[in-house]
């Protein structure tokens, strides 16, 4: 069993644009709470109303602890990989991994599913770790294209192979509820490399084992 070093993995992953501000999580929450109070007051909301009073506090906790915890490198999932002793040499496919994120352009939810395949080289990863890796990158302000790339690059680094395929299907609240107000469209992004890119039968087998766009249940 080998413990994965998050720093080494994240070095190989397209970065999310961040600037280190040295604030602790408590300081971030205090600041967001006060700034969100101002936003609500600016909108003309009555912060003495008992339904609204705690909203700035709730939003600050939600941002730091619940929906954007993937901005902190130290929250990268703890991952151990094991040697592929049994010489398993076919694709491992996991579909319909919950992928709930927030769009970085509007800060509203992206609700999706990710489908992953890899062919083990020398390393095998616990299946639930695939879910944890998806969730870690989803818990950042995102665009779907970058999210798919980050998951793919992290898996290639961890599994020491290019034989990795990642497809993300998602509904964007910013498309559904504002702007174009398209309630039915969904977006698919994918990154395929190694055998999934070069070999038609591997690619077809993967694409045939994931849901068709209209079959995805969010």
Q: Which residues are marked as active site?
A: 103-106, 144, 172, 174
Nearer to Zn ion by Cβ, of 60 and 101: the residue is 101
What whole-number distance in Å separates Cα of residue 138 and Cα of residue 154? 13
Classify strands 141-142 and 109-118 as parallel, antiparallel or unpaired. Answer: unpaired
Residues 126, 118 contacting (CB under 8 angstroms): no
The residues that touch Zn ion, with contacts defined as CB under 5 A, are 103, 105-106, 174
Nearer to Zn ion by Cβ, of 7 and 181: the residue is 181
Nearest CA among 196, 216, 214 for reference residue 206: 196
Nearer to Zn ion by Cβ, of 43 and 180: the residue is 180
Copy the structure tokens of residue 1. Answer: 């069993």
Residues 84, 124 contacting (CB under 8 angstroms): yes
Classify strands 123-125 and 187-192 as parallel, antiparallel or unpaired. Answer: unpaired
- Residue 63 C-beta: closest distance to Zn ion, Å: 16
């Amino acid at each position: 069993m080998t413990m994965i070093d998050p720093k080494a993995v994240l070095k190989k992953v397209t970065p999310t644009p961040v600037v280190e501000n040295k604030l602790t999580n408590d300081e971030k929450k205090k600041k967001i709470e006060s700034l969100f109070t101002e936003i609500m007051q600016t909108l003309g909301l009555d912060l003495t109303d008992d339904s609204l009073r705690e909203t700035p506090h709730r939003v600050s906790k939600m941002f730091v602890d619940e929906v954007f915890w993937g901005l902190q490198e130290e929250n990268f999932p703890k991952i151990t990989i094991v040697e592929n002793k049994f010489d398993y040499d076919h694709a491992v496919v996991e579909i319909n991994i919950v992928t709930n994120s927030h769009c970085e352009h509007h800060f509203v939810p992206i609700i999706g599913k990710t489908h992953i395949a890899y062919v083990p080289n020398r390393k095998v990863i616990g299946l639930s770790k695939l879910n944890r890796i998806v969730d870690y990158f989803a818990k950042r302000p995102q665009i779907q294209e970058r999210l798919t790339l980050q998951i793919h690059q992290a898996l290639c680094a961890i599994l020491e192979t290019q034989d990795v395929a990642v497809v993300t299907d998602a509904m964007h609240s910013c498309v559904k509820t504002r702007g174009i107000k398209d309630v039915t469209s969904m977006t698919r992004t994918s990154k395929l490399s190694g055998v999934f890119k070069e070999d038609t039968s591997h690619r077809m087998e993967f694409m045939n084992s994931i849901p068709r766009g209209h079959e995805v249940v969010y």
